[in-house]
Copies of this chain bind each other. A is one copy, B any other.
């Protein structure tokens, strides 16, 4: 694998691991504030980031040993409203800069496996941002968010509110590959 793309996969593994971690801690804070659905949303999306991290990690299985990831993360947790803003900011960075750049370079370097791993994540971060924005608006008005079941594709991390589709629209996985957060 070309070294620039390889480093981007390493960085993306770090970024997804850190997003997964932040959302677990943000879920705890939401529970303390009795925002049960916001907590469930953080846990579901944390799981999607776990799938993303795993996809990048597996795309790097040719490596052997220690490498340094250079990965942006949002710091400064607070109450749930603040944490939702940090989550929106993190997803926005991934949507507007990180994944478009990583995809562009993977295409330029003709690294198909890396490109697919980045595209799978990219497809879903937009949905994460929308869900967090909906939760932000609810919490900003003093309410928990209205939230149906959230389903996560175990193959690509695709995230949707509602029932699982017959096929994942991003990776094509079958319905049985979805995990529900109800």
Shortest Cβ gap from A9 to chain B (Å): 9
Residues of A within 8 Å of B, CB-based: how many? 38
* A37-64 vs B, Cβ < 8 Å mask (1 yes, 0 no): 0000000000000100110011011111
**Interface check A65, CB cutoff 8 A:** yes
User: What's the minimum C-beta distance from A80 to chain B, rounded to whole angstroms?
Assistant: 15
Query: How far is it, in angstroms, between the C-alpha of A36 and the C-alpha of B181 when the chains are bound?
Result: 25
Give per-residue flags for A101-133: 1 if the beta carbon is below 8 A from chain B beta carbons, else 0. Answer: 000000000000000000000000000000000
**Is the beta-carbon distance between B54 and A75 smaller than 8 angstroms?**
no
Query: How far does the alpha carbon of A71 sit from the alpha carbon of B20 in the complex, in Å?
Result: 16
Q: Is the CB of B72 within 8 A of A60?
A: no
Q: Name A73's contact: one of B10, B50, B72, B89 (CB within 8 Å).
A: B10
A100 contacts the other chain (Cβ, under 8 Å)? no
- The distance in angstroms between the C-alpha atoms of A67 and B78, with both chains bound, is 17
Complex alpha-carbon distance, A69 and B72, angstroms: 6
Inside 8 A of A69's CB, which chain B residues have their CB?
A: 14, 18, 69-73
A75 and B57 contacting across the interface, CB-CB below 8 Å? yes
Residues of chain B within 8 A (CB-CB) of A54 are 21, 25
Those 5 A-B pairs whose CB atoms lie nearest each other, nearest first: A63-B75, A64-B76, A17-B21, A17-B17, A17-B18
